[in-house]
Amino acid sequence: MVTKPQNVLVMRDVACAGYVAGCNTRWFAQGEDGNCTAGNAADAIQARLSFANDDTDRYASMLAFPCMEGQFNSGQLDTVMSVTTRLLPWEVNQAGLHSSFPGGDDMYRVYNAELQLSQVHYGEDMKAAENQDFISQALAPFPNLQPDAQTDAPCSHCA
């Protein structure tokens, strides 16, 4: 049990232990017949995220979206974008618009409906994720061990 968090450094993902999935060049939208449909994409994303194909271990990896150069020039889309219902940190206070999505918020609504992108984070407490509550609530006070070692962000459930 840690009473002085400043003394502890957690270094995540420092070395790769193995490949799992998601870095091949198969399209989510492309079916076995070679045709691309929204239904194929929605099913393939679901299969990939739930590891449904235990027998073949074959999953797709790639999505494609239309876009114009103006979106890069305007700064809406430069180095990062979200292809799920989750907003980028600087989009949270902008009426919840997916400005960084390729083609903008209108294209997000189209592809979200057709590819069922909301299934990626389905059931998640979106507000908690956007506010990074999973970090702020993970710290807890240990009054019996060291009374002066209260953390800056005590767990609200223990108050």
Which parts of 56-115 interact with other proteins (CB under 8 A)?
Answer: 61-74, 76, 81, 83-84, 99, 102-107, 110, 114
Q: Pick out residues in 2-41 that bind other proteins (CB under 8 A).
A: 2-4, 7-25, 27-30, 36-38, 41
Asked whether position 151 contacts other proteins by CB under 8 A, the answer is no
Q: To the nearest 10°, the Cα dihedral for 135, 46, 109, 100?
A: 50
Task: State the Cα–Cα distance between residues 112 and 117, nearest whole angstrom.
Answer: 5
Q: Pick out residues in 40-59 that bind other proteins (CB under 8 A).
A: 41, 48-49
- Site of tokens 């400005």: 99
Out of 90, 94, 118, 128, the only residue in the binding site for other proteins (CB under 8 A) is 128
Q: Which two tokens stand for residue 3?
A: 């009473």
